[in-house]
Structure 1
């Protein structure tokens, strides 16, 4: 556990990928007492943020959410996001990083600990607001998980933390299934860009260019390109390439040959795919 901001924004590279996860999950309790600017970034893993205090809007994939204390923010792997701090008020949050491969192991006929992320995707939402959060089992479990990091010498501490983490995920999924994820969209969200983002993410295998998208959404190419970067912090071409590579990595991790994944994800030649992969992930596709 750490109480500074370095873990979340360290190790930036030119593609704005931040944070590295070497374990099944990580826990942070962070508090910034001075106002900071966060660039758009993404992670290779899922992220859960419990907002505690501050004057913050959270922007994820073109959607903007005005957070209230104890909102739970669900950020899926590969989603561009950033907090926007509006005042000098302290910004405090608890963050959990989750390995998708680890959490995928806990799926059976009667349970699926990834269900909360699936429900969020189905609802096109990222924020779960629970009015009774402080009195809930969720709150008690995350506090117990936090307290466990203060006593690393205790017997079977690593196992205990894993059990508490899984217990937290069970409670979270129960809440997500029984209650509605509340989508908190502000007036600053650009509807046209949201439609464009949704189209890109569901048509990655197809031809996606600024001309194609501008024609589809009946706007000028230059307006679309400018608005896209303003809303997401990325150029349209960079965003599309990154999303295709993340999808390809998912396919390859599932056993698909890298050559097939290349073409399944919208790349037209393997050498372009290979260079882009190497630039983003630092390895070759076959090393993944």
Structure 2
């Protein structure tokens, strides 16, 4: 069962799979923020290499370009709400962007999860239901304008009030993912990364795929392409976008871009 609404700016859905297939979702990298509210099922969620085994009434947030993937653990009934919206939506309600702190004031893949101990999950479910079940476009507009800011306020308060426990020594993903993102557009190879972190190339590739959910080069490529697409939407030339995002060869950039986005870079630029 799927109940959804998409106005090309905000996309909200309520989905139920009575018997989900034991096939992992594809990796997701959005240009918008996402709030994902898990109702039931057995799902592990990976965000930039951080693993979140979900319990009922868990809520996850992802900011633009934050890679995430759901792993279905078994065939239990899988129910969830999700909403995608642009950062500009928060600016309309809050010009100082305090509501964006939970999305922006943290490292990639860190502090994505909120639990029923941190949020009023009954109210969260009510807010999502209000937004999904509006009967016409105008009611839906009103529901989004009133319910989503309240949901963002709750998340922001939980983020600000949450007491951080002492950090454990960093694991594989906690060390590797920030380093890659810091050097994303530089000349970078998997053998170089493996040597930097004292692994063989095969070990590094295996650990990366296990902890992050993708092969290391696929991760780097998708992140670079997503960044290039953002530059193209701002009107930057295709050649400059490819160079600024770490592609030394334009033809390989072009082929990868068409394969991933199913359109030529120049077409994306015309959509600015």
CA apart distance, 1:96: 1.7
Task: Indicate yes or no: 2:208 matched with 1:222.
Answer: no
How many corresponding residue pairs? 258
1:133 aligns with 2:113: no
**198 and 240 in structure 1: CA distance in 2 versus 1, 3 angstrom threshold:** same
- CA apart distance, 1:235: 2.0
Q: 1:68 to 1:74 in 2, by over 3 A?
A: same
Residue 106 of structure 1 aligns to a residue whose secondary structure is: helix
Q: What is aligned with 2:69? A: 82
User: Aligned pair 1:194/2:174, yes or no?
Assistant: yes
Q: Is the 8 A contact 1:74 1:120 kept in 2?
A: no
Q: Deviations over 1:97-116 (max 9, x none)?
A: 33x37637637633466444
Q: Partner of 1:282 in structure 2?
A: 262
Instruction: Note if contact 1:26-1:97 (Cα within 8 Å) is conserved in structure 2.
Output: yes
Rounded Cα–Cα distance in structure 1 between residues aligned with 2:21 and 2:109: 31
Query: 5+ unaligned residues in a row in structure 1: which ranges?
Result: 8-20, 152-156, 185-189
**Contact 1:38/1:83, CA 8 A, preserved across alignment:** no
Cα displacement string for residues 46-73 of structure 1 (whole angstroms, at most 9, x for unaligned residues):
4321111223322222211122222211
Preserved CA contact (<8 Å) 2:45 2:51 = yes
Distance 1:121 1:103 in 2: 22
SS at match of 1:180: helix
CA distance in 1, matches of 2:213, 2:19: 23
Q: CA RMSD in A?
A: 3.0
Q: Normalising by the residue count of structure 1, what TM-score does the alignment of the two structures yield?
A: 0.76
Distance in 2 (CA, whole Å) between partners of 1:121 and 1:76 is 10
Residue by residue over 1:238-261, the C-alpha shift from the partner in whole angstroms, topping out at 9 and shown as x without a partner, is: 221111111111122223222222
Correspondence 1:262 to 2:242: yes
| Match of residue 95 from structure 2 | 109
Instruction: Please say if 1:23 is aligned against 2:45.
Output: no
TM-score, length basis structure 2: 0.80
> Partner of 1:166 in structure 2?
145
Q: CA deviation at 1:224?
A: 0.2
Q: Is the contact made by 1:113 and 1:169 (CA closer than 8 Å) also made in structure 2?
A: no
